[in-house]
Amino acid sequence: MDHSRKKSAYKDAGVDIDAARKAVAGFKKKVAETFTEGVLSEVGHFGGMFSLGQKTFKEPVLVSSTDGVGTKLIVARMADRHDTVGECLVNHCVNDIMVQGAAPLFFMDYISVGKMRPEHIAELMEGFVRGCKANSIALLGGETAEMPDLYGEDDYDLAGFIVGVAEREDLITGLSVREGDILVGLPSTGLHTNGYSLARKIIFSELKYSVSDPLPGGEGKTFGEVLLAVHRSYKRPLEALFRRKLVKALAHITGGGFTDNLPRVFPANLDAEIKMGTWPVPRIFTFLSEAGGVDRAEMYRVFNMGIGMVLIVAERDLDEVSFILKDSSEDYYLVGRMAAGSGRVIYR
């Protein structure tokens, strides 16, 4: 049997095994640098293994989530910059499970490409590793697949999977939210990972800007810089608040904005009243609204509008919450309060 012929036939079909091996070999050492105390497996095993043995729980609950970064990847491709989107994905997943009170344990990635480009994979992995290190979680494993019949040569997609753990009695459910509770907003770094289809349509398709053009009124930053800003993690300030059990509910403001995400975390007999003008809205959002002719209702349902995480806390705890956030060097804004209602978000 001619093994070299079979190998070249696979390459002729568009899949380069040698390029894939080179891409993987290049980041093994960096991935291992993310390993935390619970990791039992090594880089390259068929399955990642993680032990909870170093942690003591009465009733541990595993909390998991999976996500992608959407068409932010198209902007990365346009700018030929691929080192931020992996970090975005790690942080997005961390935020998603922390809203339920979980401590993140490990992250796993999936990269699918049209053509294996080791230099692009290295940039993507740089972002994954940086995000995992910053959040003190293990990059426990992943998969890279070359699928030329499904993607174009320069196309790729990312998916992330995360697992965390919480004591059952410490889970944040939102069931204790009451009328009069305060909404505290933590600032975003921009679009984060949502709304890019609309943003790209306005900026690049309708207005014909390029990624290297400056955002009008954007203090000299280019569209590429603004749109590729890393989706931030809220792990540090949230951990400090969790230790004092000060948070009744949390909403990660992703796709759906305030309008769709806040009602997910409070009882249906309440409304979240948002007080407009209580936080600075970054220029990219006002530009998209003005230049794209997008009305306020849609803006607040598509984009985070400068607030990436909303905390619901008791008014009596507000001074302590404020002290902890300041001590964590975290900016925050009092963006509204809970009122009797029917499970909606009301803009005042």
Q: What residues does each domain of the chain span?
A: 15-38+57-170, 182-347
| 15-38+57-170 matches 182-347 in fold | no
Pair 290, 168: CB distance under 8 Å: no
* Mean predicted confidence (pLDDT) in 52-62: 88
Predicted pLDDT of residue 27: 76
Predicted pLDDT of residue 180: 98
Predicted pLDDT of residue 244: 94
For the cut 60, the answer to whether the pLDDT of residue 4 exceeds it is no
Residue whose entry in the numeric block shows the structure tokens 């956030």: 325
The domain at 182-347 falls in which architecture? Alpha-Beta Complex (3.90)
Q: How far apart are the first and last CA of the chain?
A: 74
* Mean predicted confidence (pLDDT) in 282-303: 97
Q: Which residues pair with 185 in a beta bridge?
A: 310, 333
Whose CA is closest to 251, among 276, 234, 229? 234
> Could you read off the pLDDT of 120-156 as tens digits, one per residue?
888 999 999 999 999 999 999 999 999 998 999 989 9
Estimate to the nearest angstrom the gap between the alpha carbon of 125 and the chain centroid: 16
Predicted pLDDT of residue 53: 83
> Could you read off the pLDDT of 247-288 as tens digits, one per residue?
999 999 999 999 999 999 999 999 999 999 999 999 999 999
Predicted pLDDT of residue 8: 60
More confident residue, 116 or 185: 185
Pair 121, 25: CB distance under 8 Å: no
Predicted pLDDT of residue 22: 67
For the cut 90, the answer to whether the pLDDT of residue 118 exceeds it is no
Predicted pLDDT of residue 23: 64
Predicted pLDDT of residue 19: 67
For the cut 70, the answer to whether the pLDDT of residue 26 exceeds it is no
Distances in Å between the alpha carbon of 198 and those of 71, 195, 206, 207, 294? 10, 6, 11, 12, 10
Rama region for 303: left / alpha / beta (φ>0; ψ in -120 to 50; rest): beta
Predicted pLDDT of residue 10: 67
Instruction: Give me the chain's average pLDDT, please.
Output: 93
CATH pick for 15-38+57-170 out of 2.60.120.10, 3.30.1330.10, 2.40.50.140, 3.30.1300.10: 3.30.1330.10
For the cut 60, the answer to whether the pLDDT of residue 5 exceeds it is no
> Could you read off the pLDDT of 207-242 as tens digits, one per residue?
999 999 999 999 999 999 999 999 999 999 999 999
* Mean predicted confidence (pLDDT) in 160-180: 97
75 falls in which pLDDT band (50, 70, 90)?
very high
Pair 85, 76: CB distance under 8 Å: yes
